[in-house]
Amino acid sequence: MTKNLVVVESPAKAKTINKILGRNYKVAASYGHVRDLPKSKLGVDEENDFAPHYVTLRDKSKVIKSLREAAKKSDAVYLAADPDREGESICFHVRELLHKEADTFHRVTFNEITAPAVKRAFEHAGDLNISKVEAQQARRILDRLVGYKLSPLLWRKVGRGLSAGRVQSVALKLIVEREREIQGFNVEEYWKITAKLLGEQEPAFEALANRRSGKKFSIDNENDATSAVEYLRGQDFIVKNVAVKPRKRNAPPPFITSTLQQDAFRRLGFPVAKTMRVAQKLYEGINLGSEGQVALITYMRTDSTRIADEAKDAAAKLIDKRFGEKFVQKQAVKRKAAKGAQDAHEAIRPNYIERVPDSLEGLLDRDQFRLYELIWKRFIASQMAPAQFEGTTVDIEAGEFEFRATGSRLLFDGYLAVLGLNKEDADSLLPPLEEGQTLKVQDLTPSQHFTQPPARYSEAGLVKELESRGIGRPSTYSTIISTIINREYVDRENKRLKPTDLGIVVTDLLIENFHDLMDYEYTARLEEVLDRIEEGNES
């Protein structure tokens, strides 16, 4: 028995780690969870402190047999699943099924699959984190109990085969409530008046009416808008005030799970499930030809924007080399953690800062390349100096009306050198203007507008809303959305989430019969309890 057995979740991860550890280790995959509560019955002893009854998953018999045979030939077994509750649970159940002495097992965790991180983890191997296992078990039991209480109601009232879940049902409630806001929205008409003005120098510029007789400008019909324009044609437009202020915009933080999901949806059009699927491959490792299997990003399920010092130093050197010393961030930006953040892992970043996206073109498929590029650019930008602008605001009097024009000028692009300019960042310069100056009116234009109802949630918007309410955790958002879509409670329509008639009926029934379970704050409090269990502060 000379080899050590290492158990991970997936073959791709096994291949990457095997390359790092070498011939004295055999790395094998469990292919995810190996045990779970039974599908055909509750599997929880409600009379005996809610003890779970686990069964080996039917399709994992061969996997378990293979792992047992490998374990018999090994001096030690290293459990190296992902460093979260699910990973800890996988390790626990693998240990339970391998029938080896307790001191044979060692737990190793790492946030990045690089040679230094993996070797360091093996040098400091420890024990299973039972608090994490208990937190995952508590979540699983809770979800099973809730599902078994809710689903029979749906069978009786709606139809067989329907099911409900603790967090998924609350997410569905958000979507249904937004739909009712849209249906009940009262459209209101309003008008804007735009003046095109010219000073002593070009260019001409536009200003919007924003006050009238000292109050906020408000017109809701065409007759009043026309009358206002007629009145303004007889007035002098005089510069009342010119304010020029410098302003700076700090770089955005590196990605956490939720912000990666949101940005990938907005910029790449990726559904949340696709983002996590592609990110998982980048984390576990991809074949880079002559280099073999290489992991490219850190662990992608995290709620922390924290960055390791060595990664900061590497980013600073690259920024200095590519852009110049003045682009390096001199002082870290203090950021408020998201509600319920556990801060267990680093932010999502490239494992190797020097692997610029262009160097991987042709080695990654299109989706992998685009997501890697998004992560790389966001991380590098997060370590760069703020962008600096000069903003100008001009207030203009015209009789009883007041107009306002705004302009801006980019003085130093800072992190925008990597992320690029948005439309609002582009220079919108105003000509030189002085207080008391009379302007020439080139045009006065009234325009009709209507108030708009709130938009349906996109997948990115729903993730943001769930996170802001403390509902769910980074590892659950993708599953939540996939579940309510697969159950046909929600349709995707123009990249937005629209509840189906079935989804609305299910939500109403659940609210009527299980008010507490459908309450947002109650659900968030349960998440906090699960977090305390993981931290060992509650049992």
Catalytic residue numbers read: 299
Residue 420, burial from CB neighbour count under 10 angstroms (0-12, 13-18, 19+): exposed
CB-based contacts of 85: which residues, under 8 Å, 6+ apart?
A: 132, 133, 135, 136, 139, 475, 534
Side-chain half-sphere exposure of 448, counting CA atoms within 13 A = 8
Closest CA to 32 of 14, 5, 16: 14
Beta 25-29 vs 3-8: how paired, if at all? parallel
The CA–CA distances, whole Å, from 145 to 93, 162, 201 equal: 21, 16, 73
Closest CA to 261 of 251, 246, 275, 240: 275
CB-based contacts of 453: which residues, under 8 Å, 6+ apart?
A: 181, 182, 185, 187
Q: Check residue 9 and report its DSSP letter.
A: S
**Cα angle at 265 between 177 and 453, to 5 degrees?**
35
CB atoms within 10 A of CB 172: 26
Q: Alpha-carbon distance 263 to 371, whole Å?
A: 10
Q: What is the largest CA-CA distance in the chain?
A: 98
Instruction: State the DSSP H helix or E strand holding residue 341, giving kind and residue range, or none if neither.
Output: none
Per the CB < 8 A criterion, the answer to whether 276 and 371 are in contact is no
Q: Looking at the DSSP assignment, which residues form a beta bridge with residue 56?
A: 35
Beta 189-198 vs 25-29: how paired, if at all? unpaired
Q: Give φ, ψ of 227 to 5 degrees.
A: -60, -40
Q: Alpha-carbon distance 523 to 85, whole Å?
A: 19
Alpha helix positions (H), 353-458: 366-382, 416-419
